[in-house]
Amino acid sequence: MANFPPSDGSTDGHEPRDGSERQASGVEQSDLELVRRVQRGERGAFDLLVLRYQHKVVKLVARLLRDQAEAEDVAQEAFVKAYRAIGSFRGDSAFYTWLYRIAVNTARNSMASRQRRPLDYESDLNESEQSAVESRMRHGDTPEAAALSDEIHRTVNGAIEALPEDLRTAIILREVEGLSYEEIAEAMECPVGTVRSRIFRAREAIDRSLKPLLD
């Protein structure tokens, strides 16, 4: 749906998966708890929210601006705005929904002040056009940045391929299918604690492969 946070596998909680009513997702609840802490003055909690949503926001802004070079500046501005306005967030919607709209408005303002026509509807581009636009943008970046981004993806991909199967399954079910630990435990027929541990170890393996690249 145009202009609405896309579902990307993580359970942002916009639609109940099986039609039955259920609690707001764990991620939503944890976001709310973090926002509560920010409102009480814990800056660190906001830094965590930035870490969690940095790629989503940069990606969103880059698509609207059709220019990745400025995307990070504008994305940064969006996060700063969100921080300043955090006191007014009341939990009526998911935090990411709120952040998404701030990012869209920030991007549109930036386009307006540069007198460029914004990409009004994400539905303007179909899937293949969208990824074509994105790949053009990636290569329009500095060669170093584009190369680094490619290498990051290759590294992650390689690390996942190299994982033992139970770890790989667990992290894919979580990140790509958006299942909760409980649901994964059911699917993999193991205790929840094992799921938590497998996902953690998968991430550790990926982190270890990324370290030499990024440190």
Partner 1 sequence: MTDQIREQMSALLDGELAPGELGLLVRRMERDAALRRAFGNYVLAGESLRAPGCIIASPGFAARVSAALDAGGAVPATAPAELARPAPRWKRPLAGLAVAAGAALAAVVLVRPGTDGGSLVAQQAAPVTMAVVSMPGGASPTPAQTQRLAGYLVAHGQYASAIGRRNAWSNALAADPGINRVVYEASEKR
Partner 2 sequence: MGRLSVIVAAGALVLAAPLAGADPPTARQWLERMTESLASLDYDGLFIHSAGSQFETMRIVHRVEDGRSVERLVSLDGSGREIVRTAEEVHFYMPDRRVVLVERRTDPGSLLKALPAPGAKLDALYTLELRKGRRLLGRDVQVVDVRPRDAYRYGYRLWLDEASAMPLRSEVLNGAARTVESIHFTRLDLGKAVDPRALQPGVDATGFQWVRAGRRAEPPVAGAGWMPRRVPPGFRLVASRSQPVPGTPVRMQHLIFSDGFASVSVFIEPAPPKGPAPPESASVGSANAYSTQVQGHMVTAVGEVPPETVREIANSVAPLEGGTPAASAAATPVDR
Q: Is 7 near partner 1 (CB under 8 A)?
A: no
- Which residue in 70, 118, 134, 166 binds partner 1 (CB under 8 A)? 134
Q: What single-letter DSSP state applies at residue 129?
A: H
Q: Residue 113 binds which entry of partner 2, partner 1, none, with Cβ cut-offs from 5 to 8 Å by kind?
A: partner 1
**Core vs surface per residue 111-120: b (16+ CB within 10 A) or e:** beeeeeebbe
**Alpha helix ranges (H) inside the chain:** 26-39, 43-65, 68-84, 95-113, 127-140, 143-161, 165-175, 181-188, 192-214
Give the Cα separation of 94 and 29 in Å (integer).
9
Site for partner 2 in 32-91 (CB under 8 A): 81-82, 84-85, 87-90
Cβ neighbors of 188 (< 8 A, separation 6 or more) are 166, 169, 170, 173, 194, 195
Site string for partner 2, 96-115 (x = CB under 8 A): --x--xx--x--xx-xx---
User: Considering only residues 94, 99, 167, 185, which one is a binding residue for partner 1 as defined by CB under 8 A?
Assistant: 94
Site for partner 2 in 105-164 (CB under 8 A): 105, 108-109, 111-112, 118, 120
| Residue 173 interface partner, choices partner 2, partner 1, none, CB cut-off 5-8 Å depending on type | none
Binding site for partner 2 (CB under 8 A): 3, 81-82, 84-85, 87-90, 92-93, 98, 101-102, 105, 108-109, 111-112, 118, 120
